[in-house]
Amino acid sequence: MPVGLSDQMPELFPIAGMRLSSVRAGIKKRAGHDLVLIELDEGCNTAAVFTKNDFCAAPVTLAKAHLVAHQPKVLMINSGNANAGTGEAGMQAAQATCTMAAKVMGCEPEQVLPFSTGVIGEVLPVTPFEVGLPAAAAELSVTGWAAAARGIMTTDIVPKAVSKKLDIDGHAVTITGIAKGSGMIHPNMATMLGYVATDAAVSLPLLQKMLTDATDDSFNSITVDGDTSTNDACTLTATGRSSLPEISDAHSVAYAQLSEAVTQVLTELATMIVRDGEGATKFITIRVEEAASKAEAKQVGFTIAHSPLVKTAFFASDPNWGRILAAVGRAGLDNLNLTAIRLYLGDACIVENGGRSPTYTEEQGAAVMKEAEITITVKLARGTAAATIYTCDFSYDYVKINAEYRS
């Protein structure tokens, strides 16, 4: 099972102004739902961020173009096929499914945002959508969040969903979100999809800022295997159905409160992805402090998180701290003061004054490494900036899952 997660989802609060559904259309080779629809009422604002992989999938290219032209009325997600690396045929398939969805949902094709996840290199089959889309439209419901969370899964073991209520200046506001991802996870916007919504009213420019900032500290701060997917996407929708007046000032208290809550939701979803990392047995938090900049802190954190030697040591519960030290040393920081760096495994100081701490014992390290959740702290003594990166170990099952992915 994933580290610290169960198959039971929390109570998911409906978001007025949107409905969701999930059905089996026959896109996946294996059993399970594989087509999700999200219908947005008139007046909703939707912001999005997408993968920065140059070989982005056809639905990513099309969704970007549609979002520039129109605010969406429909989000259409299929699992089981990524429709990436498929050239013009893949683009035609994505366009065809948008046209089909528009006909069923009574909108323009450009008002449909398509999203796909699954195997790369195979053109998306259009035929399953002919039956799947009408079936999904008939199942649309404000309570469809849980079904949608399961419908977007691929190698995920458990669904990922978060829901929160908060009070902003006396007005009740709700935020609910779902995500999928387990492997091919290295953010650059991870295979990762996320759909988050709030019933607050937020102007579109501020909504985009809110999502971009929240993504930087959540989905862009996780890694499972260092592979950036061709299909990553995350949307944030504001339906405006709360009694809270529209938020249009980035310096307002209301914006700060909502932005903080959205970041919390995205961070919870992001860490769920790491906890459900393919074959994961350990959840690892890497905290880099006293950096010259946040970017520098992330650079060090990701160098540690991407190291196969570090990740396999964690799987073996081996306190081989030299691997962590080596990762810090090759992170590419200029003028690194080795004698000033302190390195901690849990609460135990491993490294100081350029070498092993005299207070550290192998027994301390072994005790920490036996835990399912472990924190590494690196203090660089270069400034006041900090960043947190979340990752997991590499197990035998990671190789098995990915070796058998297409079978």
Catalytic positions are: 191
Sign (positive or negative) of CA dihedral 182, 132, 7, 267: positive
From CA 325, how far away is CA 85, in angstroms rounded? Answer: 38
Q: How many other β-carbons are positioned within 10 Å of the β-carbon of residue 162?
A: 21
Burial string for 90-128 (b: 16+ CB within 10 Å, else e) reads bbebbbebbebbbebbebebbbbbbbbbbbbebbbbeeb
SS3 338: coil
From CA 217, how far away is CA 238, in angstroms rounded? Answer: 20
